[in-house]
Structure 1
């Protein structure tokens, strides 16, 4: 048992206690945010903002610039999504769950490509191409940027984007030495699947009523 524990958490031996506590808090708020998203609850955004603020600070300290940019983008999109989800499109209704159009996918891909260029420029500027994980980092950044925009627009396909990013992130964060964050993305995989099925059911029910 001790060997398993050491294998999973030995990376934290070099970290300050406050960093471990902060990461734990960020992970818990991240899980809460994902669960709220699955339940189509507006609380996805205030809980997500708390999680992203903590992660931005920690990732800056750990010099994980690509990941820090992702979390910064999450923060911005959380504010944007909060506005979209609470904006009334008519006196009786708010922005509903809907299916993404070709235009929506095109915008998501464009946002992803712009983020890719931005992360590459930042990594070049700070000379951070020291490991293969940096290249995977740019890939997940591109995927998550597109997925978060889809989430803010309440498109059911956002879960598919996030699912791919989460699958890649589990081994990536573990190899980087952030076991708690790796476990967080493992939980996100389950929530992404559940969220997709729940939102699709919600969408189908709405179409039947209409």
Structure 2
């Protein structure tokens, strides 16, 4: 325990910053607060640095993409708040005709990104990294559209990275991803009663 607290006290401020903004962002997204996206952007920028520092290159690249996806999510949620139109983003299930696309994306992403990382000779656990990255990319897009299944894919991704950071004894990130996992479960339970029963027009699923 003494070693744990000793290591915790030497952690870089950027790790703590990523942890706090990440937790706050997930909590606010569960509450459907638009401010969540600003905190996500700050968290992802911090994790670009952290992931490349620790040689998790897919994770780093994922967070670069996440900055753009979070900006899209911010725009979509802000638009829904301002305009009560047919394009309003509401909690819903992932459309059935997109489930195979999601599965295909994850498979191709895991194999393609994993193989590419493996060729560098520097990446650690490249296929696990690629799988978690692919799941998280899908989850982030689903969150921007308020598809409830986003929480399932966050849990899958978070558990993989939780193991990664635990093995490296990066304690703020261990705490962060443990909390992320619990918050994803809470997100599912909180959103489930809010599922819309109305028909979503095709244009609103773009």
Find the residue that maps to 1:87 and give its secondary structure: helix
Q: Does 1:115 align with 2:109?
A: yes
Instruction: Specify the alignment match of 1:97 in structure 2.
Output: 91
Instruction: Specify the alignment match of 1:2 in structure 2.
Output: 2
Moved more, 76-85 or 110-119: 110-119
Offset of 1:150 from its aligned partner? 1.1
Find the residue that maps to 1:92 and give its secondary structure: coil
Q: Distance in 2 between matches of 1:89 and 1:42?
A: 8
Kindly report which structure 2 residues correspond to 1:7-18, keeping only aligned pairs within 5 A, or say none.
9=7
Instruction: Specify the alignment match of 1:140 in structure 2.
Output: 132
Q: TM-score, structure 1 length as denominator?
A: 0.81
Whether the 8 Å CA contact 2:109–2:131 is kept in 1: the answer is no
Distance change (3 Å), C-alpha of 1:87 and 1:107? farther
- State the Cα RMSD in Å: 2.5
Q: TM-score, structure 2 length as denominator?
A: 0.83
Offset of 1:167 from its aligned partner? 2.2
Instruction: Specify the alignment match of 2:197 in structure 1.
Output: 207
Q: Distance in 1 between matches of 2:4 and 2:54?
A: 25
Q: 1:197 aligns with which of 170, 189, 194?
A: 189
Whether the 8 Å CA contact 2:110–2:127 is kept in 1: the answer is no
Q: Distance in 2 between matches of 1:124 and 1:99?
A: 35
Offset of 1:117 from its aligned partner? 4.4
Unaligned runs of 5+ in 2: 199-206
Instruction: Specify the alignment match of 1:52 in structure 2.
Output: 44
Q: Deviations for 1:105-142, whole angstroms, at most 9, x for unmatched residues?
A: 2332233234334523541442225x5x3332122112
Moved more, 169-178 or 185-194: 169-178
Q: Distance in 1 between matches of 2:42 and 2:167?
A: 25
Distance change (3 Å), C-alpha of 1:3 and 1:86? closer
Offset of 1:5 from its aligned partner? 3.2
Q: Distance in 2 between matches of 1:70 and 1:21?
A: 22
Distance change (3 Å), C-alpha of 1:73 and 1:59? same
Q: Distance in 2 between matches of 1:27 and 1:49?
A: 13
Offset of 1:58 from its aligned partner? 2.4
